[in-house]
Amino acid sequence: RKEVEQDPGPFNVPEGATVAFNCTYSNSASQSFFWYRQDCRKEPKLLMSVYSSGNEDGRFTAQLNRASQYISLLIRDSKLSDSATYLCVVNIGGSYIPTFGRGTSLIVHP
């Protein structure tokens, strides 16, 4: 089993839709969690950190469920510009190397 798993998608949604992605991690000692966005042929850019109590940034909400070992990203009122690949990154406890999920592809269509 991979340490960090994501559904690769693609998720194909209309503008204005709400879409949610999950990312599961296998190591219960994982300490910090992040969502990144990667556009085609570009480097990943930090979208938001994920805090234990959950956090929101505009249309984006991130949540952490330690008991079930997953993080989620909710995007409300999807825009065409949200089309991208969303990567979850987990800092595994005991390792200094951030671990990536393979990414979830989102396509927002008119």
Partner 1 sequence: GAVVSQHPSWVICKSGTSVKIECRSLDFQATTMFWYRQFPKQSLMLMATSNEGSKATYEQGVEKDKFLINHASLTLSTLTVTSAHPEDSSFYICSSIPGGYNSPLHFGNGTRLTVT
Q: Which residues bind to partner 1, rule: CB under 8 A?
A: 31-32, 34, 36, 41-46, 49, 87, 89, 91, 96-98, 100-103
Cβ within 8 Å of residue 71, ≥6 positions away: 22, 23, 25, 33, 35, 50, 62, 63, 64, 65, 88, 90
Closest CB 7 distance from partner 1, rounded Å: 13
Instruction: Identify which of residues 8 and 16 has a Cβ nearer to partner 1 in the complex.
Output: 8
Closest CB 43 distance from partner 1, rounded Å: 4
Closest CB 41 distance from partner 1, rounded Å: 7
Distance CA 51, CA 14 (A): 29
